[in-house]
Structure 1
């Protein structure tokens, strides 16, 4: 249990940076918005996992309160990012019915 959250933190941070760089490399506005939604999801997962990890590491009341705040912010960021990326993925499919 102690190694799952640090791995999740690192992976989500790497994916966040990957999607932010991918935004800079693409010129299509729709694809940029899709990647931005994905990066928000990764950032939310990072914040969520970081909040849980900090509570498990310190196990104090203050880390519990801060962890709850991080869980709320990370959860909201993740949900919003998934909704945005799903919306723009559907828009891309609608505009490109032939596939890739």
Structure 2
């Protein structure tokens, strides 16, 4: 199952990328947008980390911790998706207003 570590590393790298993008921009709207994108990446990281840990150890304790990680990661990613949609619409309306 080499796909799970690849997804974990990729989501962590994207999380770091969006956190740096927050620092580099001065526009508050885009800072919120990048924050929501980083929440999605963090949620994916936690979600697949929980799956990977269960598949690696296969114990009852890792099952409970994996389920907890699945729930927390899923909620984090879902909240990030909702916020990303909201801030994307705000950015599009801001661009339409400036034209």
The TM-score normalised by the length of structure 1 is: 0.95
Q: Which residue of 1 aligns with 2:65?
A: 66
CA distance, structure 1, for counterparts of residue 60 and residue 35 of structure 2: 35
CA distance, structure 2, for counterparts of residue 41 and residue 15 of structure 1: 10
Cα deviation for residue 98 of structure 1 reads: 7.7
Cα RMSD between the aligned structures?
Answer: 1.2
- Larger helix proportion, structure 1 or 2? 2
After superposing on structure 2, the runs of 4+ consecutive aligned residues of structure 1 that deviate more than 4 Å are none
The TM-score normalised by the length of structure 2 is: 0.96
Cα deviation for residue 11 of structure 1 reads: 0.2
Q: Gaps (5+ residues) in structure 2?
A: none
Identify which range, 17-26 or 90-99, moves more after superposition. 90-99
Deviation digits for residues 60-94 of structure 1 (CA, Å, limit 9, x no counterpart): 10000000000000000000011111100000001
Q: Which residue of 1 aligns with 2:43?
A: 44
Question: How many residues end up aligned between the 2 structures?
Answer: 98
